[in-house]
């Protein structure tokens, strides 16, 4: 233990993208950081399709963007969807701004064993002490605040360490997330089930979109089809919870094959492919109950980031984005307190507000995206309606549903104006996705919809900050009296501007 009574300034629990990112960003400010990871890396994880703000924003901030560029991951220009009313697949590209059109409007499809290893090794290089095979079992508390962790070390011996902060980045299986208080809520709308495996020899989309995620709706749900290399493809079905019986009764391999045969586009792409049956990709896996949010993300001395706090749905690759973005928010908060710039209550309030806002934007966008299927006569998400008469097939009823469900983020917005704004935004989005196109397969300006622009705005800001090493635009707080990022993006500072951003 050091003279100040702490072994570390920060202990991070979990070495996935969220944990590596927050640990690196705090260590880069010269603080003492320990990361405890239960497994030995590389370890398997799902979540392979990434967003540009993760790659060109946060990964650049932590100094790993060039290494990722050299790793040979397939470049993802956007997404190709067989979704909505159009029976033909349509494509969108991440070309959201001319500023990033040349090198920032892409992401990668990654084998998480490789991606997470790169991030964890980078954390080590940036000064984080990383200990694998160390499972955290609980937090230590003193005078109402968290002040360390209890864990089983590499030899299975129970240990305790004291730290000024603990960040729980231990994912959906976290053992300590409930120590912030409150509960984990599972929104009914996203209570789905995923069945997935890996194939060799699958077909690729025509260039320049061969690295795109392909998402294909079918009567039972939808498929993701993610190219992980020239030869390897991640294939998963997202299904209604009722499908659980089907999965339980049959063997997973057979059920996956049946589902593929029910989705003509995916069946066509896998016609010549064989399923991988050995090694880490050899298993047909299942995940359920993966969509949830806690009603608080922090308490004095402790913050939750990534899947330990919340996850929505696989459809728009928001998982690793929310994981790394929340890690950035947490790091700014911890760095600000450790530097003596701001008090803990102020930074934790900023952390919660910005994290919930980002979650809320994605949540609403994803609900709208699924809801577009419900206008179709016999489309598959009808059964997902939450049940009562508020859940009609038109946009207005739908907005009311959103207004009444999972409403954490509305704690800091006026409910009436929120509903008015969202109603207009949902209509616009529906027009963009469902409106006619001149040619089947033409790029749609999905990202021109103001709702998605809003979703991506913060990511673009992070991206700009990382690329140019400072703020390029005047930042305004997201709420009255809120904070804004420092010029280097590593801390918070009080804003000159009192008014929140419009």
Q: Using CB under 6 A as the criterion, which residues of the chain lie in contact with ligand FAD when the complex forms? A: 13-19, 36-39, 43, 45-50, 135-136, 169-171, 173-175, 194, 236, 287, 290, 306-307, 311, 314, 317, 319-321, 323
C-alpha 326 chain-centroid distance: 9
Nearest C-alpha neighbor of 309 from the set 352, 348, 350 = 352
Q: Are 221 and 370 in contact (CB under 8 A)?
A: no
Q: How many helices (H) and strands (E) does the chain have?
A: 13, 23
Closest CB to ligand FAD among 47 and 104? 47
Closest CB to ligand FAD among 81 and 418? 81
Closest CB to ligand FAD among 190 and 412? 190
- Least spacing, CB of residue 15 vs ligand FAD, in Å: 5
- Least spacing, CB of residue 403 vs ligand FAD, in Å: 26
C-alpha 451 chain-centroid distance: 17
Closest CB to ligand FAD among 109 and 336? 109
Closest CB to ligand FAD among 342 and 446? 446
- Least spacing, CB of residue 468 vs ligand FAD, in Å: 25
Closest CB to ligand FAD among 45 and 335? 45
For residue 309, the 8-state DSSP code is T
- Least spacing, CB of residue 253 vs ligand FAD, in Å: 17
- Least spacing, CB of residue 431 vs ligand FAD, in Å: 26
Q: How far apart are the C-alpha atoms of 294 and 202, rounded to whole Å?
A: 39
**How far is residue 262 from each of residues 144, 219, 257, 314, 369, measured CA to CA in Å?**
55, 8, 9, 20, 22
Closest CB to ligand FAD among 13 and 399? 13
| Terminal Cα-to-Cα distance of the chain (whole angstroms) | 47
- Least spacing, CB of residue 52 vs ligand FAD, in Å: 12
Q: Are 108 and 74 in contact (CB under 8 A)?
A: yes
Strand ranges, E, within 153-242: 158-168, 184-185, 193-200, 213-218, 221-227, 232-239
Closest CB to ligand FAD among 184 and 427? 184
- Least spacing, CB of residue 286 vs ligand FAD, in Å: 9
- Least spacing, CB of residue 47 vs ligand FAD, in Å: 3
Q: How far apart are the C-alpha atoms of 152 and 135, rounded to whole Å?
A: 5
Closest CB to ligand FAD among 175 and 453? 175
The structure tokens 């009296």 sit at 481
Nearest C-alpha neighbor of 94 from the set 75, 74, 110 = 75
- Least spacing, CB of residue 111 vs ligand FAD, in Å: 12
- Least spacing, CB of residue 430 vs ligand FAD, in Å: 24
- Least spacing, CB of residue 266 vs ligand FAD, in Å: 16
Closest CB to ligand FAD among 13 and 166? 13
Percent helix / strand / coil, the chain, rounded to 5: 40, 20, 40
Closest CB to ligand FAD among 36 and 255? 36
Produce one character per residue of 323-347: b if its CB has 16 or more CB atoms within 10 Å, e if not.
bbbbbbbbbbbbbbbbeebbebebb
Closest CB to ligand FAD among 52 and 306? 306
Q: How far apart are the C-alpha atoms of 254 and 213, rounded to whole Å?
A: 24
For residue 316, the 8-state DSSP code is G
For residue 327, the 8-state DSSP code is H
Residue 485: Cβ within 10 Å count: 21
- Least spacing, CB of residue 276 vs ligand FAD, in Å: 17
Q: For residue 358, what is the enclosing H or E element?
A: helix 344-374
Closest CB to ligand FAD among 318 and 464? 318
Q: How far apart are the C-alpha atoms of 127 and 124, rounded to whole Å?
A: 5
Q: Are 76 and 321 in contact (CB under 8 A)?
A: no
Tokens found for residue 174: 């976290």
- Least spacing, CB of residue 437 vs ligand FAD, in Å: 25
C-alpha atoms less than 13 angstroms from C-alpha of 37 in its C-beta half-sphere: 24
Q: For residue 130, what is the enclosing H or E element?
A: strand 129-131
């Amino acid at each position: 233990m050091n003279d100040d009574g702490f072994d570390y300034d920060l202990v991070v629990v979990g070495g996935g993208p969220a944990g590596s990112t927050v640990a690196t960003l705090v260590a880069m400010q010269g603080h003492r950081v320990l990361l405890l990871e239960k497994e030995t890396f590389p370890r398997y994880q799902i979540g392979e399709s990434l967003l540009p703000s993760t790659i060109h924003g946060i990964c650049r901030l932590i100094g790993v963007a060039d290494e990722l560029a050299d790793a040979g991951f397939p470049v993802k220009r956007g997404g190709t969807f067989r979704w909505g009313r159009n029976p033909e697949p349509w494509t969108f590209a991440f070309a959201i701004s001319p500023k990033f059109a040349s090198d920032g409007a892409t992401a990668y499809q990654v084998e998480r064993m490789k991606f997470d290893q790169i991030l964890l090794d980078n954390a080590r290089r940036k000064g984080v002490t990383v200990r694998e095979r160390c499972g955290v079992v609980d937090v230590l508390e003193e005078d109402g605040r968290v002040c360390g962790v209890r864990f089983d070390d590499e030899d299975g011996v129970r240990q305790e360490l004291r730290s000024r902060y603990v960040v729980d980045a231990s994912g959906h299986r976290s053992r300590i997330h409930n120590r912030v208080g409150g509960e984990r809520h599972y929104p009914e709308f996203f209570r789905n089930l995923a069945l997935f495996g890996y194939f060799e020899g699958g077909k690729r989309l025509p260039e320049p979109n061969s690295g795109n995620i392909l998402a294909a709706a079918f009567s039972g749900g939808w498929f993701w089809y993610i190219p992980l290399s020239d030869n390897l493809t991640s294939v998963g079905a997202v299904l209604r919870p009722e499908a659980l019986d089907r999965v339980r009764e049959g063997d997973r391999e057979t059920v996956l094959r049946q589902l593929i045969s029910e989705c003509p586009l995916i069946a066509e792409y896998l016609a010549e492919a064989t399923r991988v049956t050995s090694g880490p990709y050899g298993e047909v896996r299942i995940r359920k109950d993966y969509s949830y949010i806690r009603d608080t993300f922090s308490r004095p001395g402790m913050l939750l980031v990534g899947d330990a706090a919340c996850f929505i749905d696989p459809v728009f690759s928001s998982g690793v984005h929310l994981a790394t973005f929340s890690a950035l928010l947490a790091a700014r908060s911890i760095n600000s307190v450790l530097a003596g710039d701001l008090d803990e209550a102020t930074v934790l309030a900023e952390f919660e507000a910005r994290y919930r806002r980002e979650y809320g934007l994605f949540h609403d966008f994803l609900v709208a995206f699924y809801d577009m299927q419900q206008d179709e006569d016999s489309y598959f998400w009808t059964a997902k309606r939450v049940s009562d008469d508020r859940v009609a097939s038109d946009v207005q009823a739908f907005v009311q549903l959103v207004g009444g469900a999972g409403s954490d983020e509305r704690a800091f917005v006026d409910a009436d104006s929120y509903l008015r704004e969202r109603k207009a935004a949902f209509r616009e989005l529906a027009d963009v996705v469902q409106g006619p196109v001149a040619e089947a397969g033409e790029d749609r300006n999905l990202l021109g919809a103001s709702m998605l622009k809003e979703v991506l705005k913060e990511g673009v800001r992070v991206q700009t900050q990382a690329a140019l090493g400072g703020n390029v635009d005047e930042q305004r707080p997201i709420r009255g009296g809120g904070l804004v990022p420092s010029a280097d993006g590593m801390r918070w500072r009080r804003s000159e501007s009192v008014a929140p951003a419009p």
